[in-house]
Structure 1
Amino acid sequence: MNKSFGITAVLLIVSFYTVEVKAQQLYELPADAEARWVSFENRSGDKGRGAMENKGGKGHPSEWINAGQSVTLLDFDGAGIINRIWMTIIDRNPEALRAIHIEMYWDKATKPAVSAPLGDFFGVGLGRMAAFQSALFTNPEGKSFNCYIPMPFKTHARIVLINESKQNQLLFYDVDLTKVKKHLKNIAYFHAYWSNNKGVELGQDFEILPRVNGKGRYLGANIGVIADKIYGDTWFGEGEVKTYLDGDNEYPTLAGTGTEDYIGSAWNLGPFSQLYQGATVVDKQKKQFAFYRYHIPDPIYFHTDCRVTIQQIGGAGRDLIRAIVKAGGKAKPISVGTSRSLIKLLDDPAYPDLFDDKFPADEWVNFYRVDNYSATAYFYLDKPESNLPQLAPLVERIKGV
């Protein structure tokens, strides 16, 4: 190794480590900070009131949550910051993980800042449990849920779990937080929003995050795709992610180059999990895919509004697309990739029709299509409530899973 390069690398590592340690305040002892764990063993999180049942002998580690029942996991007065949420349930099938949903309210707001299916909220796309590790969520062995997103509040925090599934669920959980007298600076509130592409037409982008008004930071999303079987083995992931910031309308400020590109991979997609990007489900037989991207080292700030979309675009050869259309599938060619250039069909109305013999047979064709998309978007906002719609009803959430 080049000596100067080695010294530079060491300095970079030390510098990074110093920044990380300082950010986490590992060596500081703040005077007004107190640790609290809220679980069935200490519902209030009050000092000296944990593990009081059965004379301290594992008296209340869990509870059964009946079908149709809701349970308040956290109801905490005062200022603080949630640092970690862990939980598990006994029946973790995909339909249950879509039917059960979690809500979070900050500072006595009447509308939840977080409202999402349980699995999707914790990064488990399509409700399919798989072991993974990211910077915001982990699932160590494919049977639990962990969240490490900091969630500050000024006066009150409430978390509710609603069981809309058909089965009773045995629930274990804990919410780990730091209680403080007050926050030294203005805070942004954590939000999460789940959506699906019901009613999206051919050529229309799926909204990962509808336009949200306010000042904040977009953290990223986990996205699930169930490809329509009518498209066979053709590739679904040519769609670009677009982020519209602060008044953007027709065109976004931020635009990607393709689906697998957005999550840091390339040329098709295989399963992987890393801190800020990953694909937890790549099931080509069932045509199911789930992936995530978290904008932590590459922050996305907005000052008045933010909207995030992904195009529904796939790719295949001419004859495969012809067969899809003949079978009744929705497909519209938009560009042809040759060895020398990209022919932009939407800008060239004179180009031959798909069923014209002059349309090239041996080239890659990008085409609009319609698949089953869903997403959980995570962001901070300068207020505890947003203008976003309510969570979709159960029948929509479980479609396809």
Structure 2
Amino acid sequence: MKNCPVMVLIIAVSLCLGCESKLRLCSAGGPVASSASDEALYVLPDGAQTHWASAENWKGEKGGGGRDNAGRKGSPSFKLGAGESKVLAEVRLGSGMVRRIWITISDRSAKMLRGIRLDMYWDGADRPAVSAPIGDFFGHGLGQMATFQSAMFSSPEGRSFNCCAPMPFRKGMKIVITNETNADLGDFFYDVDYTTGDNITDKGMYFHAHWNRGNPTTLQKDFEILPTVVGKGRFIGANIGVIANQQLYFKSWWGEGEVKVYLDGDKEYPTLCGTGTEDYIGSGWGMGLYANLYQGCTLADWDKMQYCFYRLHIPDPIYFRKDVRVTMHQIGCWDPNSRKQIHTLGKPIYANGPGLTEVNLSEGDDQRPYGLFERQDDWSCCAYFYLDKPVNNLPELAPVGERIKMIRSH
């Protein structure tokens, strides 16, 4: 073939460009405008310096790591007493980027996963942009550890917490952990990997996370995955947990609800609307265990009717320029078996739709073997978003008692 050398060159260039594109995927996943984050792996950015904050080098100082015990693993972890707070990483002045967080703890019970609080502050703000239970923030919902990997979070063997979401700052940052339980934590291991001196452009936004729970939710009032946030930004996604109400609905399907995203002044009706709960995370006809880059289900316990799942809007960005609000219906579906079980309770069941219209589930009514109905279940979630300012207008994190209530230990 006469053009073989040319073809080889074209293929080689294409492969190189493809590789570079893949290498930059993690940076491109977040809406961060930064010279350091946007450079290819083989480029040394001007001014950027690498730091690791850990129990071996609390301040991430140059030449300050591993000094205890003559450098022979003298301080790999620390104890976190009941009610105690620790600063995991801090930059008091200057720009930079938090690039990776890794944590593991000796007690990974539901009490600790919901009772340890993670707060992140940007640019000297007095209110945290991130405020969430440690478990839910890192993708472990309902106080249960899981093995999974997504584009932003992972737990390779279900014993650790990893986050690689890019978190830029312009004037400093602080990451704080607080044990809000009544029990001491024996060992807390961690790394916060960050750079300083990054050139954060005007378009670079701040990372935020908010935790919310409805226990139980209210009939015909959609659960707020993310309450109204005012400002410009990008909704990244959420990690959601559901404990279905078996006392009222037995093992009937709980996930017919549609996600709704209200953008830039939407009131009664949203701009974005889904078709079903499992549809929102890329599946269909029920929900089982799986973990993909942008969507997954980390817990699907049919016996206990407990589910945890996530969706990350990285390839399909959701931008807002005034405000955003994200909700989910609580709508279920009965089948012939659950219909009979629900009927035996003698409690009213309401059809989905306007008002509260009671459904006749008597055994003689065989015209509706399947049907949609309004539900009340226990929903919780940690939502992630970028915002054009270091503080948001959302309420403070719920007290530890509300977070732990009815969450079983493991």
Calculate the TM-score normalised by the size of structure 2.
0.87
CA contact (8 A) 1:216 1:382 kept: yes
Pick which of 183-192 and 127-136 moved more.
183-192
Label 1:330 to 1:152 Cα distance change in 2 as closer, same or farther (>3 A): farther
Matched, 1:62 2:64: no
Instruction: Name the SS of the counterpart of 1:101 in structure 2.
Output: strand
Distance 1:218 1:181, change over 3 A: closer
The verdict on how the C-alpha distance between 1:276 and 1:13 changes in structure 2, with shifts beyond 3 A counting, is farther
Structure 1 distance, partners of 2:218, 2:233, is 30
Query: 2:143: which partner in 1?
Result: 127
**Does 1:74 find its partner at 2:84?**
no
Q: Which residue of 2 aligns with 1:217?
A: 234
2:145 pairs with 1:143: no
1:382 equivalent to 2:388? Answer yes
> Are 2:289 and 1:283 equivalent residues in the alignment?
no
1:341 corresponding residue in structure 2: none
Match of 1:112 in 2: 128
* Structure 1 segment 20-39 matched on structure 2, within 5 A: 20-22=22-24, 23=38, 25-39=40-54
CA contact (8 A) 1:333 1:354 kept: no
Mapped to 2, the partners of 1:223 and 1:348 lie a distance apart of: 27
Deviations 1:7-61 (Å, cap 9, x if unpaired)? xx99997755332335562121112111100111111112111112211111111
| CA distance in structure 2 between the aligned counterparts of 1:395 and 1:29, rounded to whole angstroms | 48
Corresponding residue number in structure 1 for 2:205: 188
Offset at 1:127? 1.6
> Cα deviations across residues 117-176 of structure 1 (Å, max 9, x unaligned)?
010000111121111010110001010000010000011111111101232211000100
- SS in structure 2 at match of 1:375: strand
Aligned identity (percent) is: 49
Q: Partner of 1:342 in structure 2? A: none
Indicate conservation of the 8 Å contact 1:317/1:361, yes or no.
no
CA distance change for structure 1 residues 62 and 17 in 2, over 3 Å: closer, same or farther?
Answer: same
RMSD in angstroms over aligned alpha carbons? 2.4
Which is worse superposed, 16-25 or 278-287?
Answer: 16-25
Q: Please list the CA deviations of residues 279-327 of structure 1 after superposition, one character each: whole Å capped at 9, or x if unmatched.
A: 0000011111000000000010000000000100111136744643652
Alpha-carbon distance between aligned partners in 2 of 1:357 and 1:321, rounded to the nearest angstrom? 9
Shift of 1:369: 0.5
How many residue pairs match? The answer is 381
AA in 2 matched with 1:136:
M
The answer to whether the 8 A contact 1:191-1:379 is kept is: yes
Distance of 1:328 and 1:81 partners within structure 2: 57
Change in 2 beyond 3 A, CA 1:347/1:224: closer
Is residue 164 of structure 2 the alignment partner of residue 154 of structure 1? no
Structure 2 letter corresponding to 1:129: M
Residues 1:397 and 2:403 are matched in the alignment:
yes
How many Å apart are 1:358 and its aligned residue?
8.2
- 2:215–2:377 contact (8 Å) kept in structure 1: no
Match of 1:263 among 281, 284, 290: 281
- Preserved CA contact (<8 Å) 1:318 1:354: no
Alpha-carbon separation, structure 1, partners of 2:337 and 2:297: 30
Over 3 Å counting, the alpha-carbon distance change for 1:330 and 1:241 in structure 2 is farther
| Alpha-carbon distance change, 52 to 329 in structure 1, aligned in 2, over 3 angstroms | farther
* Distance (whole Å) between structure 2 residues aligned to residue 328 and residue 156 of structure 1: 59
- C-alpha distance after superposition, 1:323-356 (max 9, x if no partner): 436526563122xxxxxxxxxx65998xx95257
Question: Gaps spanning 5+ residues in structure 2: where?
Answer: 1-10, 25-37
Residues 329, 84 of structure 1: alpha-carbon distance in 2 compared, 3 angstrom cutoff = farther
Q: Compared with structure 1, are the counterparts of its residues 379 and 168 closer, same or farther at alpha carbon in structure 2 (3 Å cutoff)? A: same
Native 8 Å contact 2:217 2:378 kept in 1: no
Gaps of 5+ in 1: 1-8, 335-344
Distance apart, 1:360 and its partner CA: 4.6
Distance 1:246 1:49, change over 3 A: same
